[in-house]
Amino acid sequence: MNDVQNMSRTEQKHFQILEAGRELFFAQGYADTSMDQVTSKSGVSKATVYNHFPSKEKLFEEVVRNSSEEVFSRLPPLDPHHPDLVEMLTDFFCTLTSILFSAEGSCMCHLAMSEGRRFPENARLIFETGPGRGLENATQFLREINDAGRIRVSDPRWAAGKLLALIMPLMDFMKSGMQALQPPTREEIRKTVVFFLKGIDETVSWPPHPSA
């Protein structure tokens, strides 16, 4: 959380406007929030509000980017060399889901899904700075553990998507605000079936043998 006491007067006003925008956007959505409401809630003059944020779009963008940065800063690192990948990933996703199921996290998901059709650029921003960034991070992590010889991952991006979809099944619906949902191809379905069957096979030990 920002230390308001150590901010300059200009920084404090910026913070006040940003927090007012965040509360209003999360409580009532983008369409029903006006810059006049932000001015009233922030306690800052209208001229000052527009000096910091020339439009509602710019304010919304900074609210979303700041909120996403706060989420990622609270997550434990994805370490491809961690001795216990299961425990490390379990801790990571427990932290992530606790954030996403918080009041603020739920509001972000709701904004992306409920207003995406009317404001696709807003939905795209929420997705790219949040779930989309998470997908890229997970892809890179799986690529690194493959390169390190920990486990074999032939398609890191596909595997990352399936991992996130299993733990956070609403992720695909968040995309619907910016693009039409497409049914999976036959090959994607086949890979998912194989992925599932391998995952529930209790005869397979974990972690895999280093030479596997």
Q: DSSP labels for 124-158? A: HHHHHHTHHHHHHHHHHHHHHHHHTTSS--S-HHH
pTM metric for this prediction: 0.80
Q: What is the architecture, at CATH level 2, of domain 1-66?
A: Orthogonal Bundle (1.10)
Q: What is d(CA 171, CA 9) in angstroms, rounded to the nearest whole number?
A: 39
Domain ranges of the chain: 1-66, 75-183
pLDDT at 116: 67
pLDDT in tens, 121-158: 888 888 889 888 999 999 999 999 999 999 899 899 99
- To the nearest whole number, what is the mean pLDDT of the chain? 85
Q: Which residues of the chain have pLDDT under 70?
A: 1-5, 116, 170-183, 204, 207-212
pLDDT at 1: 47
State the DSSP H helix or E strand holding residue 206, giving kind and residue range, or none if neither: none
